[in-house]
Structures are given as structure tokens and as C-alpha cells.
């Protein structure tokens, strides 16, 4: 095979779509068509529901489901990620829009578009600075704790809708809540219960039953994914038929402007941008981290590769696209991506098809969305979100690693008590502080030789030979400003306990770097040793460490202490 | 020897003075008496000079030299640290007192006392939280950069005094400076030049000459340390004799209230405390870090031990003492401590004696301080401070370690351009970010066996045996959220290059911990490997790592992959 010219490679790197279109087959298209239709069935109710969750008119969710997935399809490295409105971003938008300094600005729709544009620009800036690796600094426990906390906030936000309650203004006065609950709407509750029953039935029970009947697997998939659409359809028919909105005060979506969104830049406003910047940064961070995490899951299952920095470009461009087409901020959605993947999507063509279907729906059917009861949409969100609340996972994490468990719990509680952004920050600070603390107490082992071998092991864990005037110490971490004092104290304490020691041998198997602070302290420590007639020696130093030390006087200063290749050599020379 | 009872040990821990008083000898006292007198000779001009540097009346420096060293003598673990006013803290106080929100408060003396009290309380709080280890998070390069930057600020602050200039108000208009320089006072300049000449002469030249003459070493020390006092004495005599202050407008110290400071708590003011809190926190941090660094230098030279947390208590109490006795914030001073040490001080008794002499001086001679010319004091500060500006050291650090060099330069420039506090914060953030970045790109080596040995080494650095379906990878760092993605990508890339590989063996010699995120990623990676018929194996895992893994299903999930004790065992089993 002849390698393609360089500029073509560059182009494929920026537009991964070129890569897969080259080998695209008829069969791929059939698969993608099916998956695209299935996903679009989910996308309509989700788009409307997440817009309402964010406290926005329904069309902002629908518009966010058209242009952004098209842009992502051109630029993204995931073949199956479904980009559009997502629940976690929606609750973050709700939190931003209701913050006092933001709600004081008025015009929440414009504010939402600014959040889209800003988070898009932030992602592109991060891509420019090659900060794709940033995803590494949010640990899984923090992300899980955050998702649990945000999901609980979503449930608290949506549950009143299933009871037909307006949002409460009770604060901590419990009596008020009783009166508030009495305002619940029985018809709305009936709709909700029916919706829950239908959605749960369309989950595992229906698939199992259909499979038992011997139905074609493709058809089983298709039918079982129709639960949300059917729920919405039936609920809307009921509202229409019995005139529930007018007669029984059932809350409905309300008018959705018909037709395609008009591209527009009328959200440019310097003062608002400044106030919304922090919120946009958090939305960008979480949208990016969650999207990459989801993209990696499906990519791993198919042996495909996600390029984090290209994802920043794709998601950033998708968010700019949603801003100019009047949509809310977007990210890769977990449930939709899994539906798309399991419906057999091969490439982003499926998402292009879904976006096309959504565009048609918006143009021709948006008048029909008016009477969708909010309770049915809330039921869809709640069924999807319950699984994301993973309180038990905190104990699971705690059991494996206390520090991680603590970070997960703190993030979860932080999101609930302090706020969404504060919760993330708390989690990140705890993980970094913990990481620093861990490096400041490195694992150090006094080692001895396992008899008749060349292996040296911890004297506390193995029965080993030792020599009374020789101290062999293995330092199991890079030596830096953060841990050199601990190491110095450890060695001084060992010398205090064993005054016979004449030679200290530091074993550097695990040391990949010695920073300036550590070198300076080691130099002083060596001088103090020499003053009391002892020597400092080093073995098993790796190439990069030796290269760095050779730039200094340290090796000369060690004399009569030496640098040995193997611990065995040091023992032979010094015993 | 019978061990002392527990509560006596506790008492000695809190009051280290009890420890050394027990074995105190007549000879110790003679040594301490001499050192105490020598140090007090330095303490008088320094106390006045640093108060003026901080923008405060001279008595705040004198009072800070009496009670605080007494308190430190009772509580401190260093036997030779000289606690009192210091130049770096003085410039930080000056920066705090001239900040717009602080100077708006009025009454700088009260503000300085609040800084003393607050920084003392902050140190005691840190001691309570056992945060003595905090000193580990300011690396040497950051501290050196900070000291250089602060010293340049001190020079810029003091240089005009040697020319008899008032502080300029020229901003960036260069013409203004020419006019400003023309206001310089020629008599003041003459005093400065004489003072510089005298001070420099009393340094090495005089010591060398006296030694050549064969003078007793103790006497050489005594005479050579008298430079500052003699300078002040001569300059003051000149001012008195020629009436320079009135006739030639030479700036002098001015009236110093006579008598002992009255203990007082009249600085308690809630609103001021809130505004000064941040400044006090920075002063506490730097005072603590610098004091411990200096204490360690002399302690190492005598094989004594500094206990960081007890130092927090001692320095905190000393700062509370300076607040109630009307003094500025205190710390351990480098030049004074070295003078005290080299004058032969054995214990803190020397500092008790120096404090006593200073108390007498304040009671009986404070009227004589009035005509000390500020230029002479500025010369003393400048001679002491020049050595602390270590611009070349930045290149030295850069040469050994780029990241450290960058942090040092950024801290230095940060202090000069952004401000003292901002400079420290910048340095600390850079070091932590760099540390995180380093752990996120761990050293990973593909290894092979050095023929006919059991040693496994990097295939890039040694000629080693390898096996075409076996990949031996040594990971040289703890595996955490910060680096697991890098490790996963590295392994995936290796597998992409060598599709024949059937078994991956991870060598955990350097791995002391695997956090939750890393474990989850490893689990997924293992599943993906198994799906393509490959196995994941682990060797050389340390006890704590194995213990942690045994709490999970991971070892079970590995099958048919295994945990081996030695790499050699893995090779024997898998080849």
C-alpha cells in the first residue's frame, strides 16, 4: 500500500470523517440508518426534557440536537458518540441560570446561548494549548461522586413535575412542605405512574418476552427502544383527547416555534460573557471529561481509538454550532450513545441521519409538541437517571482506597450542599492534596539479601541477610522537594538506632527523578555523614537520573562513597 | 540510666530548655555570654534598621528583640537560632502596610501589631493541625527565587536612603527621576560611603589582618563583629558633633521612647484583623519556612535535631509575645544566627543574654538613638542583603532541572512585578503543577534480560534478551488517576507495534500504590486484552500493593494471566 501524502494525513487527522468515508459500504449504511432512526426516536423526548430540566424553552434542546451532531460527525474521533443535550450539563445550566448574579442579567435564553458559545471557545482554547490531558486530573471517584450528586439534584428537580407540583419555596420550614404537597395534581400523578410503568415495561421485561417469542434481534432492539416515544405519544394523546391541560391544569410543554432555527450571533454581549465565564468553564470541563469517558467505553469495545485533543476540537466546534443555531450546550450523552451503539451504529453517519430526522421533526411536527405533558418527560429523565446515583459505590471505593472514598463522598456532598461547581473543585483539590501528601510520605524499605540469591527485599516482609555496618535502603518514589525531608528524617532515625552503620546504600530502582531541592538536601546529608566518618553510596540508578547527577559535583562529593550498578556489587565492595 | 517519667518527657518536649539546662556547665555559660554580647551588638542597629525598612517607628524593631527571643529560648528546638526582626519579614510588612486597603485603615503601628498577633496565631493553629510538614511544599528553588526577589525590593527600598532621597513618586516617567536624583543629599552620601567602607573593611580584610598579626581567634571574632555598631556609633557622633540633622538635612532615626515597652492588648479590632489576615498568613508561612531552614543549617553542623511542629509553637508564641510587647513580627534571622553560632553560642542562653542587654539598652540609651543617621542603617542592611540576591543561581538551577529553574525565575519575577504574596503563590502553584505533570508522564521501560543473569533492564539502554510474544514493561511510578491514561496509551501503542505479543507482564518494582481510577482502567484494559486472546500478568508487586489488590476481584479477573513473585518466574512460565 502506498502511504497517502502528508497533507492528506493532516486533513484526515482534523476531519476523521474522511478516514471512515473512504471504506464506507452499503452494509455500513444499512446499519447506520437503523441506529440513526432508533436514536432519533430517543432524541426528540430527551431534547425537550433536558431543555426543560435546564429551565429553558423546549426548542433549545431540539436545536441542540441538529447542528451539533453534524459538526461532531465531521470532527470527532468517536464513531458512535451521540452529541446533543445531556442531563448533567442541563442541571449545570439550570444551576448557572438561577445563580443570583446570572438571573439578575435577565433573558435566560440569551444566557444559555452565551454558555454554549463560551464553553465551545474554552474547549477550543484548551485544544490549542494541548490540554487534552486535563482529563487525567479528574479521578474516577471524583467523577462518580459528581455524577451521583448531580443526578440527585436532577431527581429533586424533576420529582415535583411528576406530582404536578410547582417548584417549592419552603426553605427549611417543614410545615410548609406538607401544605405544598397538598397542591399536587392527581391527574398528573396518574400520567406519571402510567409513564413509569410503560418505561419500565419497555426495559428488560419486554426485550426478554420478545426474545422468548423468537423475534428477530434487530426488531427486539427497535421495539424496546420505542418506550420513551410511545410514552410521550400516549400521554400527549390523552392530554389532547381529554383536554387535560385546560381542564385539569396538567403542565404541558407549551408552544414550540415551528421551522428550522435561524442561525444568529445576537448573543454577543461583553458584560454577560464575563459573568457567565466561570459557569461556562465548568460546563466545558465536565462536558469534555464525560464525553471522552463515554467515547472511550464504546471505542474500547470495538478496538477504536479516541484522540483527546481532537475531541476538544470536535466538542468545542459542536458547542459553537449549538450557540449560533440557538441551542443549549451539548456533550456526549451516555444513554443515547449506548442506544446508538447497541442498535448497531458503525459510524457517525447514524448521527447524521438522526440529526436529519430531528430537523424534519422540528420543521413539520413542532406544533404537535405543545401538549406533551411535562410529567411524562420527567418520568423519562427519572428512569434514565436513577442508575447514575451510586451511593453504594462510595463504600466500594472507600473499601479499596480510603483517600479515594473520601474524595468521592466529599464531591457528592459538596455538589449537594455547596453547589455543583464547588463540589467539583472540592473533589479536585482533595485528590491533588492527597496525591501530594502521598508523595510526601514515600514508601521506604530497609532491605537485605534473600540468602543465596541476588534478590534484595524488605527486611520486614522477608527473612533476609543483613550486615551490621551496612544499611541498604530502597526509596520507592521520585525524590523531590515534597518528600526529601521525610527521607532525610527516616535515614537519620535509622542511623540513630544503628550507630554501627558505616555505609549507607541508597537503592534507586524506583527513582526516576531527583529535583533541585532533593539534590541540595542530599548534598548536605552527605557532608554530615562524611563528618562522622560514614559514606553514602547509590546503586541501581537509572540512566536519566545518572545523566542528571553527572551534570553536578554530587558524584565527586560522594567519595569515598560510590555509585554502583547493582546492589550486589555494593554489598561485595562494602562488606 | 533510669528513664525519666513520662510527664517529665512531655514537659521537656514542650520546653526544650529543660533538656539543655540539666547538663548546662560553667564553660557553656562563658561561651554563651560571649556570643550573647556579640549578637546584641548586631541586634541594636538591625532592630532599628528593620523597623525603618518595614516603615515603622524604630522602637517596634527594638521591642521585637527583647521578649520574642526569651519566649523562643523556652520553646524552640534550635539552640542557636536568633529570633527577632528580620529583613525579609520587614519588606513583607512594608508591602502589607502600604497596600491600599491596609493603608486606608490608618494607624500603621497598630496594623503591625495585628500582623504580629495574627501570624503568631496562624502558626499556633498550624501546629495544632500538625502542619509542620507544610515546609515541604515550598521547594528550595522557589524559596531562593523568593529571597532574591525580596532582597531586590529591599535594596530598591534602602538605596534612596543612602543618597538622602525621599521615596520617589515618579512612576514610569524617566525625566522625573533625573530631577529626583538631583535632590540627593551630598552629606548623606558621604556618610553612606564611609559606612560602606567601614562595614566592608570589618568583613574579611580586618579578620585576615588580625589573624596574620596572630591575635587570639576569640578576639578576632569579637572585633570583626563590631563593624555595624562602630559604624552607627561614628555616624551618630558625626551627626551630633556637626549638627548634621538640622543644618544639612541628614535624615535620622528620630525620637525613640525611653524605657521598657508596656505589655498591651490594645490592637484587638475585628475588622482590621479580617483585612490583614491574608498578609499575616504569608508572613507566618515565610517566617516559619525561613526560620526552620536557618535552624536546620546550624543544627546539622552540630548534629542537633529540629522538630518542625515544635518550631511552629515556639515561633507562634514568639510572635504573640512581640504583639503584646509592642513589637513587629519576628522570625529567625540568617546573618544574626550565623554570627551567634560562629561566636560560639552553645544554647539559647546566649539569646537570653542578648535580650537582657537589649532591654538595658532600651531602658538607658534610647535617647541616644535619636541621631542615628538612616543612611548608616541602610548601609548595614545593604551590605547584609547583597549576598541574598542570587540571579546566577537561577541559571545553575535551570541547568540541573528546567522545571525548577523556571519556578525560581517565575517566583523572582513574580515578587518584583506582581507583588510579594503573588510571587510566592505563583512559585508554589508552578511547583505543584510541575509535580503533577511529572507524575502524569511516568517513566516506563520495556525491559529484557541481561543474558545469563536474572537482571532485567531497559532494552534501550542495555543489550538484552527479549521474546517475541512476551512484552515485559516496568512502570517506574505509583499508578494513579494522573498517569493511568498515559500508561494505557503506552501499552496500547506497544501492542500496536508488536501484534505478536500474547502476554503482557507489568513489572511493579517501583509501584507502591494503585488508586481506584488506575484499578478501574486496568480492569477494562485486561478485559480488552482477554477479548483479543492476550493475557495481563504482574510481577514484583510489593506487599502493600498485593494486599490492596487482594481486596478486589482483579486477581481473579486476570486469569489466565497471573501474579508472579519475580520477573524471572514470569519469563520461565510464559516463554
Annotate A38-71 with three-state secondary structure: HHHHHHHHHHHHHHHHCCCCCHHHHHCCCHHHHH
CA distance A424 to A284: 13
Q: Within this chain, do residues A301 and A413 fall inside the same structural domain, yes or no?
A: no
- H or E segment and range at residue B14: helix B6-14
- H or E segment and range at residue B94: helix B87-98
Judged by CB atoms closer than 8 Å, whether chains meet at A543 and B403 is answered as: no
**Chain A contacts of B481, Cβ < 8 Å?**
136-140, 431
The answer for residues whose C-beta is within 8 angstroms of residue B509's C-beta and 6 or more apart is A509, A510, B474, B540
Instruction: Give the pLDDT band (50/70/90) at residue A169.
Output: low
The pLDDT of residue B414 is 92
A548 touches chain B (CB under 8 A): yes
Q: Within this chain, do residues B319 and B418 fall inside the same structural domain, yes or no?
A: no
Judged by CB atoms closer than 8 Å, whether chains meet at B136 and A520 is answered as: no
Q: Within this chain, do residues B376 and B459 fall inside the same structural domain, yes or no?
A: no
Percent of chain A scoring above 70 in pLDDT = 95
Q: Within this chain, do residues A430 and A462 fall inside the same structural domain, yes or no?
A: no
Count other Cβ atoms within 10 Å, centred on residue B321. 25
How does pLDDT run across A393-439, given as a tens digit for each residue? Answer: 999 899 998 889 999 999 999 999 888 888 888 888 888 777 777 77
Surface of A (515-534) touching B: CB under 8 A: 515-517, 519-520, 524, 528, 532
Angle at B112 between CA B108 and CA B115, to 5 degrees: 135
CA distance B226 to B38: 8
**Chain A contacts of B130, Cβ < 8 Å?**
none
| A14 occurs within a structural domain | no
Q: Within this chain, do residues A94 and A128 fall inside the same structural domain, yes or no?
A: yes
- Enter the C-alpha cell of residue A129: 494549548
Distance of CA A389 to the CA centre of its chain: 15
CA distance B113 to B321: 10
Distance from CA of A307 to the nearest CA of B (A): 10
| A278 occurs within a structural domain | yes
| B156 occurs within a structural domain | yes
Which of B405, B515, B541, B569 best tests the A interface by mutation, with the highest count of A CBs <10 A? B515
Give the chain B residue whose CA is nearest to the CA of A308.
Answer: B485
Q: Within this chain, do residues B233 and B143 fall inside the same structural domain, yes or no?
A: yes
Q: What is the pLDDT along chain B (575 residues), one digit of tens a residue?
A: 445 556 777 788 888 888 888 889 999 999 999 999 989 988 888 999 999 999 999 999 999 999 999 999 999 999 999 999 999 999 999 999 998 889 888 889 999 999 999 999 999 998 988 777 766 678 889 989 999 999 999 998 888 888 877 665 666 566 766 776 777 788 888 899 999 999 888 878 888 888 888 888 788 878 888 888 889 899 999 998 888 888 888 888 888 887 776 777 777 777 888 889 989 999 999 999 989 988 988 887 777 888 889 999 999 999 999 999 999 999 999 888 988 998 889 999 999 999 999 999 988 888 888 888 988 888 988 988 888 899 999 998 999 988 899 999 999 999 998 888 888 888 888 887 777 777 788 889 899 998 888 888 889 878 899 998 999 999 988 898 888 888 988 998 898 888 899 999 999 988 888 999 899 889 988 988 898 889 999 999 988 899 999 999 999 999 899 999 999 999 999 98
Percent of chain A scoring above 90 in pLDDT = 41
Identity of the residue in A137, A141, A477 whose CB atom sits nearest the CB atom of B436 = A137
Domain that holds residue A423: 404-440
| A377 occurs within a structural domain | no
Identity of the residue in B141, B481, B516 whose CB atom sits nearest the CB atom of A136 = B481
Do residues A136 and A84 make contact, with C-beta atoms less than 8 angstroms apart?
Answer: no
**pLDDT at A5 > cutoff 70:** no
φ and ψ at B465, to 5 degrees? -80, 140
Judged by CB atoms closer than 8 Å, whether chains meet at B485 and A542 is answered as: no
**Quick one: average pLDDT of A372-390?**
88
Q: What is the b/e burial string over A295-308, where b = at least 16 CB atoms within 10 angstroms of the residue's CB?
A: bbbbbbeeeeebbb
Give the chain B residue whose CA is nearest to the CA of A134.
Answer: B482
CA-CA-CA-CA dihedral for B139, B142, B146, B148, to nearest 10: 110
| B119 occurs within a structural domain | yes
- Enter the C-alpha cell of residue B155: 535594596
SS3 call for B373: strand
Identity of the residue in B303, B481, B510 whose CB atom sits nearest the CB atom of A139 = B481
Q: Within this chain, do residues B420 and B448 fall inside the same structural domain, yes or no?
A: no
Distance from CA of B396 to the nearest CA of A (A): 10
Identity of the residue in A133, A140, A300 whose CB atom sits nearest the CB atom of B520 = A140
Q: Within this chain, do residues A141 and A71 fall inside the same structural domain, yes or no?
A: yes
| A312 occurs within a structural domain | yes
Q: What is the total count of domains within chain A?
A: 3
**Chain A contacts of B483, Cβ < 8 Å?**
136
Q: Within this chain, do residues B372 and B431 fall inside the same structural domain, yes or no?
A: no
Surface of B (122-141) touching A: CB under 8 A: 133, 135-141
Strands A444-449 and A470-475: antiparallel
The pLDDT of residue B352 is 96
**β strands within A278-399, DSSP E:** 331-332
Query: What does the DSSP 8-state code read for residue B467?
Result: B
A399 touches chain B (CB under 8 A): yes
Which of B400, B409, B567 best tests the A interface by mutation, with the highest count of A CBs <10 A? B400
Judged by CB atoms closer than 8 Å, whether chains meet at A512 and B477 is answered as: yes
Judged by CB atoms closer than 8 Å, whether chains meet at B404 and A516 is answered as: yes
| B450 occurs within a structural domain | yes
Q: Within this chain, do residues B135 and B283 fall inside the same structural domain, yes or no?
A: yes
Identity of the residue in B136, B400, B435 whose CB atom sits nearest the CB atom of A552 = B400
Peptide bond into A7 cis (omega under 30): no
A32 touches chain B (CB under 8 A): no
Judged by CB atoms closer than 8 Å, whether chains meet at B440 and A133 is answered as: yes
- Enter the C-alpha cell of residue B133: 510538614
B240 touches chain A (CB under 8 A): no
Surface of B (282-341) touching A: CB under 8 A: 300, 303, 305
The answer for residues whose C-beta is within 8 angstroms of residue A286's C-beta and 6 or more apart is A88, A89, A92, A146, A331, A424
CA distance B291 to B80: 11
Count other Cβ atoms within 10 Å, centred on residue A60. 29
- Cell 539502554 identifies what position? B461
How does pLDDT run across A491-521, given as a tens digit for each residue? Answer: 988 988 888 999 999 999 888 889 998 999 8
| B12 occurs within a structural domain | no
Distance from CA of A468 to the nearest CA of B (A): 22
Q: Could you tell me if residue A452 is left (phi over 0), alpha (psi between -120 and 50 degrees) or otherwise beta?
A: left
Q: Within this chain, do residues B99 and B212 fall inside the same structural domain, yes or no?
A: yes
- Enter the C-alpha cell of residue B559: 486469569
CA distance A414 to A392: 17
Judged by CB atoms closer than 8 Å, whether chains meet at B551 and A476 is answered as: no
The answer for residues whose C-beta is within 8 angstroms of residue B336's C-beta and 6 or more apart is B39, B42, B43, B46, B82, B84
B509 touches chain A (CB under 8 A): yes
User: How large is the ipTM?
Assistant: 0.73
Judged by CB atoms closer than 8 Å, whether chains meet at B532 and A303 is answered as: yes
Do residues A195 and A235 make contact, with C-beta atoms less than 8 angstroms apart?
Answer: yes
What CATH number should be reported for the domain holding residue B542?
3.30.750.24
Q: Within this chain, do residues A466 and A513 fall inside the same structural domain, yes or no?
A: yes
**pLDDT at A1 > cutoff 50:** no
B548 touches chain A (CB under 8 A): yes
The pLDDT of residue B4 is 54
Distance from CA of B398 to the nearest CA of A (A): 9
Identify the bridge partners of residue B570 per DSSP, sorted by sequence position.
none
Select from A324, A355, A371 the last residue of a domain: A371
Distance of CA B309 to the CA centre of its chain: 15
CA distance B500 to B509: 26
Query: What does the DSSP 8-state code read for residue B260?
Result: P
Judged by CB atoms closer than 8 Å, whether chains meet at B477 and A476 is answered as: no
CA distance A294 to A82: 10
How does pLDDT run across A278-321, given as a tens digit for each residue? Answer: 899 999 999 999 899 888 888 877 778 888 899 999 999 999 99
Judged by CB atoms closer than 8 Å, whether chains meet at A476 and B510 is answered as: yes
The answer for residues whose C-beta is within 8 angstroms of residue B43's C-beta and 6 or more apart is B65, B82, B84, B336, B354, B358
DSSP letters, B15-75, are: -HHHHHHHT--HHHHHHHHHHHHHHHHHHHHHHHHHHHHTTS-THHHHHTTTHHHHHHHHH
**Nearest alpha-carbon partner for A382 in A186, A163, A83, A224:** A163
**What is the reported pTM?**
0.70
Burial label, B402 (beta-carbon count in 10 A; 0-12, 13-18, 19+):
exposed
Amino acid at each position: 500500500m502506498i502511504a497517502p501524502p502528508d497533507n492528506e494525513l493532516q486533513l484526515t487527522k482534523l476531519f476523521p470523517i474522511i478516514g471512515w468515508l473512504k471504506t464506507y459500504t452499503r452494509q455500513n449504511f444499512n446499519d447506520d440508518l437503523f441506529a440513526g432512526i432508533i436514536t432519533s426516536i430517543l432524541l426528540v423526548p430527551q431534547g425537550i426534557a433536558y431543555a426543560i430540566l435546564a429551565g429553558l424553552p423546549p426548542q433549545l434542546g431540539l436545536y441542540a440536537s441538529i447542528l451539533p451532531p453534524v459538526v461532531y460527525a465531521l470532527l470527532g474521533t468517536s464513531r458512535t458518540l451521540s452529541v446533543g443535550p445531556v442531563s448533567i450539563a442541563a442541571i449545570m445550566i439550570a444551576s448557572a441560570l438561577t445563580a443570583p448574579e446570572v438571573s439578575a442579567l435577565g433573558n435566560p435564553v440569551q444566557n444559555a446561548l452565551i454558555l454554549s458559545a463560551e464553553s465551545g471557545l474554552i474547549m477550543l482554547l484548551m485544544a490549542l494549548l494541548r490540554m487534552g490531558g486535563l482529563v487525567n486530573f479528574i479521578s474516577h471517584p471524583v467523577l462518580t461522586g459528581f455524577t451521583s450528586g448531580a443526578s440527585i439534584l436532577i431527581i429533586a428537580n424533576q420529582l415535583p413535575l411528576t406530582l404536578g407540583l410547582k417548584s417549592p419555596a419552603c426553605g427549611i420550614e417543614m410545615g410548609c412542605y406538607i401544605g405544598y404537597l397538598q397542591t399536587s395534581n392527581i391527574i398528573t400523578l396518574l400520567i406519571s405512574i402510567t409513564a413509569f410503568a410503560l418505561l419500565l415495561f419497555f426495559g428488560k421485561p419486554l426485550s426478554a418476552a420478545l426474545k422468548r417469542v423468537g423475534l428477530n434481534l434487530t426488531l427486539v432492539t427497535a421495539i424496546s427502544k420505542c418506550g420513551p416515544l410511545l410514552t410521550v405519544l400516549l400521554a400527549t394523546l390523552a392530554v389532547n383527547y381529554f383536554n387535560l391541560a385546560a381542564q385539569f391544569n396538567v403542565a404541558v410543554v407549551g408552544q414550540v416555534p415551528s421551522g428550522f432555527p435561524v442561525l444568529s450571533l445576537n448573543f454577543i454581549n461583553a458584560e454577560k460573557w464575563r459573568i457567565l465565564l466561570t459557569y461556562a468553564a465548568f460546563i466545558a470541563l465536565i462536558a469534555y471529561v464525560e464525553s471522552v469517558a463515554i467515547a472511550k467505553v464504546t471505542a474500547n469495545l470495538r478496538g477504536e481509538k479516541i484522540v483527546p485533543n481532537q475531541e476538544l476540537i470536535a466538542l468545542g466546534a459542536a458547542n459553537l454550532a449549538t450557540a449560533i443555531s440557538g441551542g443549549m450546550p451539548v456533550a456526549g450523552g451516555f444513554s443515547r450513545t449506548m442506544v446508538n451503539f447497541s442498535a448497531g451504529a458503525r459510524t457517525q453517519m447514524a448521527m447524521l441521519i438522526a440529526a436529519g430526522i430531528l430537523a424534519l421533526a422540528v420543521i413539520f411536527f413542532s406544533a404537535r409538541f405543545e401538549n406533551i405533558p411535562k410529567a411524562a418527560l420527567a418520568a423519562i429523565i427519572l428512569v434514565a437517571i436513577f442508575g447514575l446515583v451510586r451511593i453504594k459505590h462510595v463504600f466500594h471505593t472507600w473499601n479499596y482506597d480510603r483517600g479515594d472514598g473520601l474524595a468521592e463522598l466529599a464531591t457528592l456532598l459538596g455538589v449537594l450542599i455547596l453547589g455543583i461547581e464547588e463540589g467539583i473543585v472540592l473533589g479536585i483539590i482533595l485528590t491533588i492534596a492527597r496525591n501530594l501528601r502521598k508523595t510526601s510520605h514515600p514508601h521506604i524499605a530497609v532491605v537485605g539479601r534473600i540468602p543465596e540469591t541476588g534478590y534484595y527485599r524488605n527486611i520486614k516482609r522477608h527473612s533476609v541477610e543483613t550486615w551490621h555496618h551496612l544499611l541498604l535502603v530502597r526509596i520507592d518514589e521520585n525524590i523531590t522537594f515534597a518528600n526529601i525531608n521525610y527521607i532525610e528524617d527516616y535515614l537519620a532515625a535509622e542511623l540513630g538506632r544503628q550507630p554501627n552503620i558505616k555505609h549507607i546504600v541508597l537503592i534507586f530502582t524506583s527513582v526516576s527523578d531527583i529535583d533541585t531541592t532533593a539534590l541540595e538536601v542530599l548534598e548536605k546529608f552527605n557532608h554530615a555523614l562524611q563528618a562522622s566518618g560514614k559514606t553514602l553510596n547509590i546503586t541501581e540508578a537509572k540512566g536519566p537520573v545518572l545523566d542528571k547527577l553527572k551534570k553536578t559535583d554530587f558524584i565527586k562529593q560522594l567519595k569515598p562513597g560510590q555509585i554502583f550498578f547493582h546492589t550486589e556489587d555494593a554489598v561485595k565492595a562494602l562488606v
